[in-house]
Structure 1
Amino acid sequence: MFANNVGGADKILRIVLGTLLLIGAIMGYGIWMWIGVIPLVTGLFGTCPLYSILGFSTCSMKK
């Protein structure tokens, strides 16, 4: 489907941010915080559909 295009630091940041937003949503800080599902899923799978559309990647180049 989509190639991996989310690199190490980007992946960690997405997972942490997504988790924090979901915790906030569960604690009742706002329904908008459920948007954290998107960075969490893209971080866990290592692929971002928007990056694919834009032709962008944060993965290191393989030699």
Structure 2
Amino acid sequence: MKTNVGGIDKIARIVIGALLIVLALTGTIGVWGWIGVVPLATGLLNTCPAYSLLGINTCKTK
């Protein structure tokens, strides 16, 4: 898969994903918090399938 997530976008995905998972684990927001796995995974893998479909790329190209 081609890398299409970079910079601030990557950091935001990891932070938001981790926050949602922690809130789900503590019972603050319930089961819906597990949706945080998606942004966490896309941030860690540097690729987003939705970005690929829409032709978006936040990585700096060399």
TM-score interval, smaller chain = over 0.9
- Give the whole-Å Cα distance in 2 for the aligned partners of 1:56 and 1:17: 20
What is the TM-score when the length of structure 2 is the normalising length?
0.94
The Cα of 1:8 is off from its aligned counterpart by 1.3
The answer for unaligned runs of 5 or more in structure 2 is: none
- Give the whole-Å Cα distance in 2 for the aligned partners of 1:22 and 1:57: 26
- Give the whole-Å Cα distance in 2 for the aligned partners of 1:47 and 1:8: 12
The answer for unaligned runs of 5 or more in structure 1 is: none
Q: Which amino acid aligns with 1:11?
A: K
Report the counterpart of residue 42 of structure 1 in structure 2. Answer: 42
Identity value in percent: 59
Moved over 3 A (4+): none
What is the TM-score when the length of structure 1 is the normalising length?
0.93
